[in-house]
């Protein structure tokens, strides 16, 4: 009965998209969906409206309220415009920055958004073509804008696109603004309320001036220019994986002084179809294969890859046998933080009020590095908007060194408020030069960090559950983990449970409940065991997945101990998975 009711609701909703307010092609596609014998595609397209998650608006492209198209993008932009006009009513002019990535329809959606903002009396600064997401954050701050958007679905498959909304500090929107924008979008009851007619006087095309300013400002974060000068000819393979990184990252590396940047020509081609990869995700081994092959061919020592909107970096380095190994996001985060804190200390920049930030699912080794060096550490939720929120709270109080997350995002500068693959690539190349100056490689540098601060092994496990039924399964899984909490993991007793949905922590040794100090609730559950294992469980905010983050710890006395520690950790992770039933 419920399925019949849902189908009827969906048909009624879809029929509304057959009205003359929608363009002919949209009406044609909706009609086809309504006439199909199998209603699955119809239901998936209309059973809900897209909402802002941890990464904003994101979905499969196509017709329907649950799809990315000119009307859902239009409603989001109209809702944001309505909210901006209320929030900044006292200003003589409201302005926004609009950027986009390489995806199919990204330019179209960016131009439609510019038209709508201008039709609402809001000045729209539009990049002339694709640009890295962090440059949009930078431009919002640099141009003194009240908001901005980026059309991107990050590393999702080619069928997806998305819409990230930013506030006047250059950070993605959080409460109350995100909820208020959604409310404004939901208040739009008809497509007639979306003002699509452009006011040309209020759309300004940006030129390369902002690119040059961005790179020049990024050069100021360099801490080892002498090391770069001595090792400027390090062979570095870089690939944008068909995305926006090609517009800035090679130029930024050259501006730093690196002279031997090797390209993967096939992947320099800008394309929303990502023709050389199954998935343009730098977390995946296959996405870096062509770049690693190029590095083997050319004798390069470092491989770097940015995702389509150039806010995350994947890297591969040579081990002691000369073979390429991929660094995971926790390892790059650890290397970045270790390097920055070490150089700040060596340069006398540590004054006692500095801080770093990581997300709650990221490696706890960052805490060890920060604590030993007298640097404050802040833990925050997954999603870089929460790192930006910590930066906002600490403005003019403490000095930001860097912050990042296990999902390959890092930010080394304080004049941007989102993760940045441009500065990430610059910094990683600099670390390679600095390590070489100290007789090391990035790989042996990481080994020495493990010896000094403890070995950790992290494993991210994603269980994919597609569509409406998948969302219900994920919800049921989270409910079960809460109602039937784990008592042990891989033979080790669970001693503490954190439930961020309730903001409570349960100490199972002392039988005490504590309140978690976080800005809001979040659907995340964490288990901590007697042997220092941490398991975090959360549904993805941007993809149809439930994510498990496993982190194990052990002590090593030398580099020689690491191989055995790695083998033991792999076996332990397999046991943890059995305990979790995944």
Angle at alpha carbon of residue 453, lines to 452 and 459, rounded to 5°: 125
**In contact, 270 and 102? CB cutoff 8 Å:** yes
Q: What is the per-residue DSSP string for 458-475? A: EEEEEEE--HHHHHHHHH
Residue 137 exposure: Cα atoms within 13 Å on the Cβ side: 26
Residue with tokens 């949905």: 501
118 exposure class (CB count in 10 Å sphere: 0-12, 13-18, 19+): buried
State the alpha helices, DSSP H only, in 269-383. 289-298, 329-346, 365-372
Distance of CA 162 to the CA centre of its chain: 13
How many CA atoms does the CB half-sphere of 180 hold within 13 Å? 14
Euclidean distance between the first and the last CA atom of the chain, given in angstroms as a whole number: 33
Active site residues: 154
Structure tokens at 520: 């809001």
With vertex at residue 138, the alpha carbon angle to CA 227 and CA 100, rounded to the nearest 5 degrees, is: 110
DSSP 185-251: HHT--SGGGS-----GGGEEE--THHHHHHHHHHGGG-S-HHHHHHTTT--EEEE-TTSGGGGTHHH
d(CA 582, CA 571): 15
């Amino acid at each position: 009965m419920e399925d019949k009711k849902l189908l009827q609701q969906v048909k009624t909703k879809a029929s509304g998209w057959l009205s003359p307010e929608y363009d002919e092609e949209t009406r044609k596609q909706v009609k086809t969906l309504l006439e199909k014998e199998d209603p699955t595609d119809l239901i998936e397209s209309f059973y809900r409206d897209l909402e802002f998650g941890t990464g904003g608006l994101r979905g499969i492209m196509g017709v329907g309220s649950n799809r990315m198209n000119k009307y859902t993008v239009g409603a989001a932009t109209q809702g944001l415009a309505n909210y901006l006009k209320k929030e900044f009513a006292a200003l003589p002019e409201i302005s926004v920055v609009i950027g986009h990535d390489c995806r199919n329809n990204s330019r179209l959606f960016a131009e439609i958004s510019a038209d709508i903002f201008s039709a609402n009396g809001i000045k729209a600064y539009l990049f002339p073509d694709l640009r890295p997401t962090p440059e949009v954050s930078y431009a919002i701050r640099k141009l003194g804008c009240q908001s901005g958007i980026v059309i991107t679905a990050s590393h999702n498959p080619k069928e997806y696109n998305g819409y990230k909304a930013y506030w006047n500090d250059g950070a993605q929107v959080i409460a109350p603004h995100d909820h208020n924008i959604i409310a404004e979008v939901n208040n739009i009851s008809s497509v007639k309320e979306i003002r699509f007619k452009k006011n040309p006087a209020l759309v300004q095309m940006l030129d390369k001036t902002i690119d040059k300013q961005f790179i020049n400002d990024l050069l100021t974060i360099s801490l080892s220019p002498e090391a770069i000068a001595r090792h400027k000819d390090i062979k570095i393979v870089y690939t944008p994986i068909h995305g926006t990184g090609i517009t800035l990252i090679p130029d930024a590396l050259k501006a730093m002084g690196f002279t031997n940047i090797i390209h993967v020509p096939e992947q320099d081609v800008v394309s929303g179809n990502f023709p050389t990869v199954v998935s343009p995700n730098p977390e995946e081994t296959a996405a870096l294969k062509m770049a690693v092959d190029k590095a083997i061919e050319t004798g390069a020592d470092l491989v770097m890859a940015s995702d389509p909107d150039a806010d995350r970096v994947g890297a591969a380095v040579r081990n002691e046998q000369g073979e390429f190994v991929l660094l995971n996001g926790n390892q790059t985060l650890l290397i970045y933080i270790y390097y920055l804190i070490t150089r700040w200390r060596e340069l006398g920049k540590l004054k006692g009020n500095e801080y770093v930030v990581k997300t709650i699912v990221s490696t706890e080794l960052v805490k060890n590095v920060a604590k030993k060096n007298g640097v404050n550490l802040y833990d925050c939720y997954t999603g870089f908007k929460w790192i930006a929120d910590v930066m906002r709270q600490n403005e003019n109080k403490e000095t930001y060194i860097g912050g990042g997350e296990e999902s390959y995002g890092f930010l080394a500068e304080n004049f941007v408020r989102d993760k940045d693959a441009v500065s990430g690539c610059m910094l990683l190349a600099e670390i390679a030069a600095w390590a070489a100056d100290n007789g090391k490689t990035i790989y042996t540098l990481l080994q020495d960090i493990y010896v000094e601060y403890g070995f950790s092994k992290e494993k991210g496990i994603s269980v994919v559950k597609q569509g409406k039924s998948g969302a219900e399964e994920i919800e049921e899984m989270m409910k079960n983990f809460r109602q039937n909490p784990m008592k042990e993991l891989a033979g080790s007793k669970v001693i503490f449970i954190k439930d961020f949905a309730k903001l409570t922590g349960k100490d199972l040794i002392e039988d005490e409940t504590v309140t978690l100090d976080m800005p809001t609730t979040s659907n995340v559950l964490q288990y901590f065991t007697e042997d220092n294992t941490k398991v975090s469980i959360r549904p993805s905010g941007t993809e149809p997945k439930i994510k498990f983050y496993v982190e194990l710890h052990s002590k090593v006395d030398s580099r020689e101990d690491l191989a055995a520690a790695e083998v033991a950790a792999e076996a332990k992770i397999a046991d943890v998975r059995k305990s979790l039933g995944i």
